[in-house]
Chain A
Amino acid sequence: MKEIVLIKLGEMVLKGLNRRTFEDVLIKNIKYRLRGLGQFEIKIAQSTITVIPQSDDIDLDDVCERIGEVFGIVTYSRACVCEKDFDDILEKAPVYTADALADAKTFKVESKRSDKRFPYKSPEISAQVGGRILSAFPRLKVDVKNPDVTVTVEVRDYAAYIRCQTMRGQGGMPVGTSGLATVLISGGIDSPVAAYMMAKRGLKLNAVHFESPPYTSERARLKVEKLLKQVSRYAGSIEMHTVPLTKIQETIRDRCPEELFTILLRRVMMKIASRIAESTGSGALITGESLGQVASQTMYALGCTDAAASKIVLRPLIGMDKQEIINISRRINTFETSIEPYEDCCTVFTPKHPRTKPVLRFVEKAEREAALDEMIEQAIADTAVKTITP
């Protein structure tokens, strides 16, 4: 029995004339994620995408797992393909649904007939298919209000489909339809979540990571690569820019007041990330900042960091509690990697009492005295680039 995956699109069906572009990007993204699982034919009609495996040894569970990670999909389901012939539908229905109904006590059949040339109306389809299933499994009962399993029969333009279980997709918009943005990624819990959330809104990502050897270790960088790899399951391939920050951090330590260490460092990061964004054609920066979480994320501190960025800074976590962020990071499987205990460059030279209400004027003055410009240029020149794929 031939089985396929049916995908229902997200809010992009609301788009106007550029809807076609959105659909094309989504199909391209689905193809990208299914690479390595086998050959597929992918078709779109009536705001439904059909993924048709081209050989029998393809594991549809693997296919579904990956489709469940692609943005722009509201729901998806496995379905059995029937000819648009009522006898074929009636014959296959009890066979295909047997597994799904094995543990069920009650079921109902729903029918959708988008091809109105099909000679039977929806209620009739439901009644007859339901009858066949009942006679195959006499222990089952029909319950139209609260069934254990809902069997759906859809008569569409290419074929008819029978499906039992609908799974929820990631929602959002296809990655790439909103442009490219640059995420500042540390290795903590927040930034991968921020990256995920903005990719969900259709942004393709590249990433900037700062490291300070020997204060930070190779393991810390590998941890970030692992996090980005996980994010790339949703966001597609990510170009990772690793910027060496040791010299700048040591200079700040030597030349600036201790309580401004963090804020000055954050400003340097913004400056470098803005430059990398500029050179890679990225339109925005993304950070995992959440208001008031730490000293550098007070409204006043964010004001000072923001002033150093030459791109808009997207902060999707700004109004979220830590627990809410952790919940998302667990759901997208970055949490366990994030909590691996390696020093990152933000925790090198942390001041004992960081300024929570820094004043931009004084911060800028300290920054001028530190004379970091040349070192910033050098750090950008020494940046290493690596592409991370799922």
Chain B
Amino acid sequence: MKTHYLDNSATTRVSDAAAEKALDMMKENYGNPSSLHKMGVRAELCVEEAREAIADALSAKAKNIVFTSGGTEANNTVLFGAAEALKRRGNRIIVSAVEHSSVYESAKRLSQLGYDVQYAPVGKDGVIDPNALEQLLTDKTILVSVMAVNNETGSVQPTELLAKHIKRRCPDAVFHVDAVQAFCKIPLKPVRWGVDFMTVSAHKIHGPKGVGAIFSRDGARLVPLLYGGEQQKKIRPGTESAPLIAAFGEAVNEADISANLTYIRELNAYAVEKLEAIKGVTFNSPEAALPYIINISVEGIKSETMLHHLEQNGVYVSSSSACAKGKRSYVLAAMGLSDDRIDSSVRISFSKHSTKEDIDALVDGIVSGIATLQRK
């Protein structure tokens, strides 16, 4: 049976170039980037090239990029690191109600540690109202964390606008943007937008799992989570994972934001047209969502049931966030959806490898699912 992989916001297939790069870094160019000799220098050059590629993609400087083991570590480092660095200045931390669990759960932990954590509400479209955020900003606010694109619905947050509001009201607070689902999919300009930290990950853009990065604005301080060597200016010590980092760089170099977006828009329109025609399907993603993600609910069929039914037809999708297996989505709840809608939600997510054929298979699967699974 043919595979129709439509779960690209969970993870993507690693590109040939990225995989080959990683293999070469493991088998040939395997020096420790910190070694003084040539083998070390050669490995270091590849790491630095990748740093440059990620910096370029963010219109930032390479010195402002630190590699981590992925998006979760990057988000944890920023939340705990910035909270610790700024704790003398205040104790309010604001995150949106729809953050990825790596931010959401970190915020919860910070709340247990005594920080005053507030959750910024979102509208029906999953988007934060800047005025609602502004209400939560106080002189004691030290950190605001808002994702660029929501992982479950594709809702795009107005991060540039939010940055302006935050900097006007709380010039000393730092602003973190979790851009894992946005990186290399829409243009990101943290420096110009006034964003202090931005976190990204490789495996959502055809890079390998296990590597991510933090952009930090000049002078924005983080207390490290890890201690050890002198690597990466001590913000993230430990021997750099040169194979994964170099592969990350390759994946970023291959990403063509505007060409991909044009293609995905077309796919999205095709899918929406087909899905709209199915009775019982409602859309949870707002119209202005990033076209890479479509979140729908199929009336009367539990997400998981639909997921496994589609799987039998070779179609792979997600029931809300893959990181929260079996738990009811707080993201959709924050958007005011009913429990029935939430329990029957399915996330379809594209990559440049997705085709209309994949969508046809998905639509067929949903139609047959409704015919056989729906409780009458």
- Known interface pairs A57-B258, A62-B59, A336-B63. Does A219 touch B41 (Cβ–Cβ under 8 Å)? yes
Known A59-B187, A61-B192: A219·B168 in contact at CB below 8 Å: no
Q: Which residues of B are found within 8 Å of A336, using beta-carbon distances? A: 63
Contact B45 A222 (CB under 8 A): yes
Residues of B within 8 A of A57 (CB): 258
Q: A59-B187, A61-B192, A336-B63 are in contact. Are A103 and B168 (CB under 8 A)?
A: yes
A100 to chain B, nearest CB (A): 13
Taken together as a complex, chains A and B put the C-alpha atoms of A59 and B61 apart, in Å, by 17
Query: How many residues from A make CB contacts under 8 Å with B?
Result: 12
Would you call A102 an interface residue if the criterion is a C-beta within 8 Å of the partner chain's C-beta atoms? yes
Known contacts A57-B258, A61-B192; A218 and B164 CB within 8 A of each other: no
Interface string of A44-69 (1 = CB under 8 A from B): 00000000000001010110000000
Chain B binding site: helix, strand, loop or mixed by DSSP?
helix
Inside 8 A of B41's CB, which chain A residues have their CB? 217-219, 222
Please state if B187 and A217 are interface contacts (CB–CB under 8 Å). no
Contact with A along B22-64 (1 / 0, CB 8 A): 0000000000000010100100110000000000000101010
Expressed in whole angstroms, the Cα–Cα distance for A222 and B164 within the complex equals: 39
What residues of A have a CB within 8 angstroms of the CB of B187 in the complex?
Answer: 59
The complex places the Cα of A95 from the Cα of B191 at a distance, in Å, of 24
Q: For residues 210 through 253 of chain A, which have their beta carbon under 8 Å from a beta carbon of chain B?
A: 217-219, 222
> Across the interface, which residues of A come within 8 angstroms of B44, CB to CB?
219
Within 8 A of A (CB), among B201-235: none
Chain A contacts with B in 241-297, Cβ cutoff 8 A:
none
Judge if B328 is at the interface, Cβ distance under 8 Å: no
The distance in angstroms between the C-alpha atoms of A235 and B41, with both chains bound, is 27
Give the distance to chain B from A316, nearest Cβ to Cβ, in Å: 26
A-B pair number, CB within 8 angstroms? 22
Shortest CB-to-CB span from A169 to chain B, Å, is 19
Interface contact B63-A61, CB-CB below 8 Å: no
Please report which residues of chain A, range 85-143, place their CB below 8 angstroms from some CB of chain B when the two chains form the complex: 102-103
Task: Report the Cα distance A62→B58, complex, angstroms.
Answer: 12
The verdict on B352 contacting chain A, using a C-beta distance below 8 Å, is no
> Is B309 at the interface (CB under 8 A from chain A)?
no
Interface membership of chain B positions 108-121, coded 1 if the CB is closer than 8 angstroms to chain A and 0 otherwise: 00000000000000
| A234, chain B: closest CB distance, angstroms | 16
Give complex CA distance A62, B189 in Å.
Answer: 10
Contact: A217 with B36, CB < 8 Å? yes
Q: In the complex, A103 Cα to B168 Cα: how many Å?
A: 9
Residue-wise, chain B 53-86 has the 8 Å CB interface mask toward A (1 for contact) of 0000001010100000000000000000000000
CA A222 to CA B48, docked complex, whole Å:
12
Inter-chain contacts of B38 with A (CB < 8 A): 218
The answer for the CA separation of A102 and B309 in the assembled complex, in Å, is: 52
B38 — nearest CB in chain A belongs to which residue?
A: A218
B63 closest partner in A (C-beta): A336
Q: Is the CB of A61 within 8 A of B168?
A: no
- Set of chain B residues within 8 Å of A62, measured between Cβ atoms: 59
Across-interface contacts of B45 in A (CB, < 8 A): 222
C-alpha spacing A336/B64, complex, angstroms:
12
Chain A residues in 8 Å Cβ range of B36: 217, 219
Query: In A320-375, which residues have CB < 8 Å from any B CB?
Result: 333, 336
Chain B residues whose C-beta falls within 8 Å of the C-beta of A103 in the assembled complex: 164, 168
Q: Is the CB of A61 within 8 A of B59?
A: yes
CB-CB < 8 A to B258: which residues of A? 57
| B59: chain A residues within 8 A (beta carbon) | 59, 61-62
- A102 near B164 with CB under 8 A, answer yes
Task: Please name the residue on chain A nearest to B44 by beta carbon.
Answer: A219
A62 shortest CB reach to chain B, Å: 7
CB distance from A103 to the nearest CB of B (A): 7
Chain A residues with Cβ below 8 Å from B168 are: 103
With the chains together, A110 CA to B189 CA distance in Å? 31
User: How far apart are B18's CB and chain A's nearest CB, in angstroms?
Assistant: 23
Contact with A along B183-201 (1 / 0, CB 8 A): 0000101001000000000
Which of A61, A217, A218, A222 is B189 in contact with, Cβ under 8 Å? Answer: A61
In the complex, what residues of B have CB within 8 A of residue A61's CB?
Answer: 59, 189, 192
Closest chain B residue, CB of each to CB of A218: B41
- Output the least CB separation between B56 and chain A (Å): 10
CB distance from A390 to the nearest CB of B (A): 13
Q: Which A-chain residue is minimally distant from B62 (CB atoms)? A: A226
| Interface residues as binary, A22-63 with B (CB distance below 8 Å gives 1, 0 otherwise) | 000000000000000000000000000000000001010110
Shortest Cβ distance from A55 into chain B, in angstroms? 10
Q: How far is the CB of B263 from chain A (nearest CB, A)?
A: 15
Give, as a whole number of angstroms, the nearest-CB distance from A64 to chain B: 11
A50 to B36, CA, bound (A): 49
Q: In the complex, what distance in Å separates the CA atom of A218 from the CA atom of B192?
A: 36
A336 to B258, CA, bound (A): 34
Report Cα–Cα, A81/B315, bound state, in Å: 51
Task: Closest A residue to B187 by CB, please name it.
Answer: A59
- Who on chain A is nearest to B167 by CB? A103
**B323 → chain A closest CB, angstroms:** 33
Q: Which residues of B contact A219 (CB under 8 A)?
A: 36, 41, 44
Nearest CB of chain B from residue A348's CB, rounded to whole Å: 16
Chain A hits for B61, CB < 8 A: 333
CB distance from B242 to the nearest CB of A (A): 16
Q: How far is the CA of A222 from the CA of B59 in the complex (A)?
A: 23
Nearest CB in chain A: distance from B308 CB, A: 42
Q: How far is the CB of A66 from chain B (nearest CB, A)?
A: 12
Q: In the complex, what's the smallest C-beta–C-beta distance from B224 to chain A, in angstroms?
A: 20
B-contacting residues, A172-199, CB 8 Å: none
Determine the chain B residues whose CB is within 8 A of the CB of A217 once the complex forms. Answer: 36, 41
C-alpha spacing A215/B278, complex, angstroms = 74
Can you name 13 extra interface pairs (CB under 8 A) apart from A219-B36, A222-B41? A57-B258, A59-B59, A59-B187, A61-B189, A102-B164, A103-B164, A103-B168, A218-B38, A218-B41, A219-B41, A219-B44, A222-B45, A333-B61
12 A-B pairs within 8 Å (CB atoms) are namely: A59-B59, A59-B187, A62-B59, A102-B164, A103-B164, A103-B168, A217-B36, A218-B41, A219-B41, A222-B41, A222-B45, A333-B61
What is the interface of chain B, defined by CB distance below 8 A to chain A? 36, 38, 41, 44-45, 59, 61, 63, 164, 168, 187, 189, 192, 258
**Shortest 8 CB-CB contacts between residues of A and residues of B:** A218-B41, A61-B192, A219-B41, A57-B258, A218-B38, A336-B63, A217-B36, A62-B59
